[in-house]
């Protein structure tokens, strides 16, 4: 859903490994899996705190019911909609 190629995700994963945020571990067969390190988990928690504040201020004009309806509609689009199409630039 991020529109990244395998190659671009591999480059991103390499940078995350280099910063100590994830580690590569053996998976089944030749697969390699990625797992958050303690530093990665702490960074993720900090990111959640930041985005929670952004969401709170962004949707403050909506009532609780409106926010719940928006959440429901977005969930419906994500689960029932057609998969995103890549757009050539």
Q: What is the pLDDT of residues 12-64, one digit of tens each?
A: 999 999 999 999 999 899 888 999 999 999 999 999 999 999 999 999 999 99
Question: Which SS3 state, helix, strand or coil, does residue 59 take?
Answer: coil
Q: Is residue 88 part of a domain?
A: no
Give me the number of domains the chain comprises: 2
Kindly state whether residues 77 and 42 are assigned to the same domain.
yes
Q: Is residue 89 part of a domain?
A: no
State residue 21's pLDDT score: 98
Kindly state whether residues 32 and 56 are assigned to the same domain.
no
Q: Is residue 46 part of a domain?
A: yes
Kindly state whether residues 49 and 30 are assigned to the same domain.
no
Question: Which SS3 state, helix, strand or coil, does residue 7 take?
Answer: helix
Q: Is residue 87 part of a domain?
A: no
The pLDDT of residue 80 is above 90: no
State residue 87's pLDDT score: 55
Q: Is residue 86 part of a domain?
A: no
| pLDDT confidence bin for 6, thresholds 50/70/90 | confident
State residue 3's pLDDT score: 79
Helix (H) or strand (E) holding 44: helix 38-58
Q: Is residue 29 part of a domain?
A: yes
Kindly state whether residues 60 and 25 are assigned to the same domain.
no
State residue 85's pLDDT score: 63
Kindly state whether residues 32 and 47 are assigned to the same domain.
no
Question: If you search the block for the tokens 């395998």, which residue do you land on?
Answer: 6
Cα dihedral 43→49→54→58 (10° resolution): 140
| Max CA distance (Å), the chain | 51
Q: For residue 34, how many other CB atoms are within 10 A of its CB? A: 15
Question: Which SS3 state, helix, strand or coil, does residue 29 take?
Answer: coil
Structural domain boundaries, residue 45: 38-81
């Amino acid at each position: 859903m991020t529109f990244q190629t395998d190659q671009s995700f591999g480059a991103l994963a390499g940078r995350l490994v280099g910063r100590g945020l994830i580690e590569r571990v053996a998976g089944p067969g030749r697969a390699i899996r990625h797992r958050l390190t303690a530093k990665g988990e702490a960074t993720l928690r900090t990111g959640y705190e930041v985005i929670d504040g952004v969401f709170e201020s962004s949707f403050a004009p909506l009532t609780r019911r409106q926010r719940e309806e928006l959440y429901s509609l977005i969930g419906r689009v994500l689960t029932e909609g057609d998969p995103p199409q890549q757009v050539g630039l």
